Chain A
Amino acid sequence: MKYETVIGLEVHAELKTKTKIYCGCKNEFGGEPNTHTCPICTGMPGTLPVLNKTVVDYAIKAGLAMNCSITKYGKQDRKNYFYPDLPKAYQISQFDLPLCRNGYIDILVDGETRRIGITRIHIEEDAGKLVHNDYDGTSMADYNRCGEPLIEIVSEPDLRSPEEARIFLETLKSILEYTEVSDCKMQEGSLRCDVNVSLRPEGQKEFGTRCEMKNINSFRAAVRSMEFEQKRQEEVLSGDGVINQETRRWDDVKGVSTVMRTKEDAQDYRYFPEPDLLPIIVSDEWIEEIRGTIPELPEQRKARYIDAFGLPEYDAFLLTSSKKTADYFDETVSLGAAPKTVSNWLMGDIAKLLNDKELESGDIPFTPAQLKSLIDLIEKGTISNSAAKKVLNELFNNPEEPEKIVDRLGLSQVSDEGELQKMVQEVMAQNPQSIVDYKAGKDRALGFLMGQVMKLSKGKANPQVISKMLKDALDQA
């Protein structure tokens, strides 16, 4: 039997406000343990939370960017459970009245647009971190991260493959970046996700039993865990087994997931309305005010790239999926570079180098003006394409003006006709047989002679110029 995979995601994104959600402590990654805390974010007795308005602004902004309807009367709730990274023994979250509901985002899969539903977006506080000490068998709680503001974005189970889920995550990330509500730094944990996977026989309407995967720290891990789970469930089902509803822990090193909790020992969080906080009432004016701050989103930008610059959809999609990349593209084009050329550079060699150097897409270490200069140097024939790659490498390592790099590395092409003419004559004098061959119609002889001139010029000769000179000289010989 063939099975269809059904995937739903829960993404936690840390909001980049200046302060935490309920107190004035800095919202900042890292720091010495317990140096960004106060009695409020550590829930000391008698302290009370007061909601950071910017958190609400950002959540609504993200919701609007994902086509959600905004809840006019929202509230916050307590989720009760004991864990040493949660000093109040409850997390302030939202239960039945999240700030945003019923939205969607469009993703591009194999050239087709797929609309993925967003069930809800709610605000909540982050927990702290535990550092385990294997030597003395203790764990140490660091509360710096306690109270950092999060939004949890829950998707509908609309995704049908790990690849689709990956594209969804990339698209979601780009929307969060575009709206500037989150830094989306995976390595700092500012974007995390839980994955729900189920399988059903192809054509069946009802969903199968789902398993939730936790402890996923990168998009790559998300995809791998889904692939693993897909395969695992398929094997169970094909062997006439039954899928148990459970929470599984993904081990990215071993590439396997193991059971963490079964349905039977599901936690009872005893949600109830947070009595220390008041309802959040969102007026139409407030919503419109926030709507006014939303910049051009990836979807709109993609359309603009296709319409205004004539870029292929694939290019436009890739370029716009990172706001930084798209901003870089726009700036380079605005300096007068040809859009398709810029796009080729960004999607080709630059993307490859960013990847090699483990930099985030868009974190290009040189300026758009420098890229424009590089492109100009090629177009003017000052450097060859292969020399341009060397310049690009150098721009990554030691960014300075491309002209200077060309000089420093001696990469400029020799286009001086007098000098080249001398070389052509020299090569022809040394290779009379090749002239004979050429005359006899052997085209390969031209290639050989070109190679000899290039060799003589130490690779700096402008190939177009010598090709023409050689042909002229041979025809006259």
Chain B
Amino acid sequence: MHTFKAHEIRDKIKSKELSSQEITKAFLDRIDAVEDKVESYVTVLADEAMKAAKAVDEKIAAGEEVGALAGVPMALKDNLCTKDVLTTCSSKMLYNFRPPYDATVAQKLKKADTVLLGKVNMDEFAMGSSTENSYFKKTKNPYDISKVPGGSSGGSAACVSADEAAFTLGSDTGGSIRQPAALCGCVGMKPTYGTVSRFGLVAFASSLDQIGPLTKDVRDCALVYDQIVGYDPMDSTSVNREYASFEDALTGDVAGLKIGVPAEYMGEGISAPVQKAVMAALESFKGLGADYSEMHLPLNEYALPAYYMISSAEASSNLARFDGVKYGFRAEKFDDLVDLYAQTRSEGFGAEVKRRIMIGTYALSSGYYDAYYKKAQQVRTMIMQDFDKAFETYDVLVTPATPTTAFGFGEKTDDPLQMYMADICTVSVNIAGLPAVVLPCGYDENGLPIGLQIIGKPFGEAAILNAAYALEKTISKVKPAL
């Protein structure tokens, strides 16, 4: 039962073939069975979930109107605020933080009558590409538990991949939904900046962060996006516009679709199996009536350095509020106020978070602002122009989602730059605010999933989801053996 997709569960509950309590229980049992191997959860809300499921069942029994995803069990990344429920960002700094408010997405999913199973693991404050930076635990890749699930939404991806929830939400600042989705063989989408409210998402880099779904298939991705998309007056950067159903837009028809394949994403550094799988997928697209051709995004190599300057600078400011005064961790021993701050922040943050705070503080400090932060924002303009030009010719762009399949624990932790390279295929999309979906397009010789990324124009979610939907039908999926 736990292998059911979200849309299947929705339909079965609606037709009363299945109760929310049955399916919730099935997922809780699944969590019991595999969680000590996968370790995707920070908090499991077993009692609360059963209670919520019961309430949905009662509503249905009483003939009351229910939300669009009534009774569907899901989990949220632990940087999405949930009222009175632990929201730790997988950091010692927030080990005991229970926000007195819900993130807008959490509220929307409550309104859709979903059942919250728990909060899932991540790289501390969403900084990382392997979820090894969690203060609490190391989440494993369900396809090979000696490999990382990717990050920072590694918990969200592993959780879905291991069937520990019907779907999850993650956040994506430089690839944090798409890279783990690729490594764990699930579908993940980073929507256009401003389409999903960031209210209640503990900020990493405000101008890049975006919340999105991680799901078992493309239809689920569309239907979850349908529930979380929309204008929110609580978020100034939320776009005020109307959205038609993305699920309804899934036709599977890609005849005449013009696909651009940026050469810069297919060259050096991209492993052979990944290149091969992506090329095969492009041929599949061709078979479906689409057309692809190689093109160029010459500024791509500047996306990663620009990303690290912008994201670290914003993070250094966003994370300054964690000082041991208002919430979360406070150091036990300190001499005075300044020492309270320094001691708390030094003990409460992990190494990677400190590294980014240092980089960001440096980039903003007197004398360096123009050289790093402003320069990066200018390069950002140029990268956006690159994409604008590309979209004059192409409907969507297709690239690998990651340079390689899942890597081993500890493999990249010694060299931060090498770890940053794991996001080489994904960061430019955040820089330009574009939507992009990742789905599995094959497996390497060790059976590890390979992700393919489809990038769209701003607000082009319907087009990329539909392309992914069409391609998905040509791929034979392999479930992880747990």
Contact = CB atoms under 8 A, between A and B. Distances in A.
Contact of A50 (B200, B236, B320): B236
A276 B327 CA distance: 22
A88 interface: yes
A357 interface: no
Interface string A251-278: 0000000000000000010111001111
Interface in B337-352: 337-338, 341
Contacts of B327: 44-45
A473 interface: no
B13 interface: no
A88 B100 contact: no
Nearest to A269: B366
A290 interface: no
B202 interface: yes
A88 B338 CA distance: 16
Nearest to B326: A87
A272 B311 CA distance: 13
Nearest to B319: A89
Contact of B103 (A46, A50, A268): A46
Contacts of A44: 99-101, 326-327
Contacts of A275: 205-207, 237, 314
Contacts of A78: 317
Interface in B191-210: 198-203, 205-207
B87 interface: yes
A276 B206 contact: yes
Interface string B154-193: 0000000000000000000000000000000000000000
A447 interface: no
Contacts of B203: 45-46, 276
B337 A84 contact: yes
B202 A80 contact: no
A42 B320 contact: no
B100 to A, nearest CB: 6
Given A46-B199, A82-B341, A275-B207, A270 B237 contact: no
B115 interface: no
B95 interface: no
A72 B299 CA distance: 32
B365 interface: yes
Interface in B90-134: 94, 97, 99-101, 103
Interface in B424-443: none
A48 interface: yes
Contacts of B317: 78, 80, 89-90, 270, 272
Contacts of A51: 236
Main secondary structure of the interface of B (DSSP, over half): loop
Contact of B373 (A39, A47, A50, A272): A272
A268 B365 contact: yes
Interface residues of B, number: 45
Interface string A44-87: 11111111000000000000000000000000001010101001
Contacts of B323: 82, 89
B320 A82 contact: yes
A84 B203 CA distance: 21
Nearest to A42: B326
Contact of B101 (A39, A88, A89, A268): A39
A46 B237 contact: no
A268 B89 CA distance: 29
A272 B315 CA distance: 12
A82 B322 CA distance: 10
Contacts of A45: 81, 87, 89, 94, 97, 99, 202-203, 321-322, 327
B325 interface: yes
A141 interface: yes
Nearest to A79: B317
A43 interface: yes
Contacts of A277: 236
A39 B326 contact: no
Contacts of B366: 268, 270
Contacts of A88: 320-321
Interface string B303-324: 0000000000110110011110
B20 to A, nearest CB: 28
Nearest to B373: A272
Contacts of A84: 325, 337
Nearest to A87: B326
A275 B199 CA distance: 13
A227 to B, nearest CB: 34
A277 B198 CA distance: 12
A309 to B, nearest CB: 50
A444 B69 CA distance: 107
B99 A39 contact: yes
B255 to A, nearest CB: 40
B159 to A, nearest CB: 21
B345 to A, nearest CB: 10
A449 B316 CA distance: 90
A114 B373 CA distance: 43
A87 B201 contact: no
B8 interface: no
A270 B365 CA distance: 5
B373 A278 contact: no
A46 B81 contact: yes
Contact of A89 (B103, B234, B321): B321
B463 interface: no
Contact of B321 (A87, A268, A272, A276): A87
A50 B99 contact: no
Interface in A272-306: 272, 275-278
B364 interface: yes
B235 interface: yes
A270 B361 contact: yes
Contacts of A39: 99-101
Residue from A47, A268, A278 whose CB has the most chain B CB atoms within 10 Å: A47
A47 B236 contact: no
B364 A47 contact: no
Contacts of A48: 198-199, 234-237
A272 B89 CA distance: 25
Contacts of A82: 320, 323, 338, 341
Nearest to B233: A50
Nearest to A268: B366
B369 interface: yes
Nearest to B208: A275
Interface in B462-480: none
A90 B236 contact: no
Interface string B341-384: 10000000000000000000100111001000100000000000
Interface string B229-272: 00001111100000000000000000000000000000000000
Contacts of B101: 39, 44, 46-47
Contact of B364 (A42, A272, A278): A272
Nearest to B102: A46
A312 B203 CA distance: 61
Interface string A82-116: 10100111100000000000000000000000000
Contacts of B337: 84
Interface of B: 79-81, 87, 89, 94, 97, 99-101, 103, 198-203, 205-207, 233-237, 313-314, 316-317, 320-323, 325-327, 337-338, 341, 361, 364-366, 369, 373
27 contacts: A42-B326, A45-B81, A45-B87, A45-B99, A46-B199, A47-B101, A48-B235, A48-B236, A50-B235, A80-B317, A80-B320, A82-B320, A82-B338, A82-B341, A87-B321, A87-B325, A90-B320, A268-B365, A270-B317, A270-B365, A270-B369, A272-B313, A272-B369, A275-B207, A277-B236, A278-B236, A278-B237
Given A80-B364, A88-B321, 12 more contacts: A44-B327, A45-B202, A46-B81, A46-B87, A46-B103, A46-B199, A46-B203, A80-B316, A87-B321, A272-B314, A275-B205, A276-B237
Of all A-B residue pairs in the complex, the 8 with the closest CB atoms, nearest first, are A89-B320, A275-B206, A270-B364, A275-B207, A45-B202, A46-B200, A46-B81, A46-B202
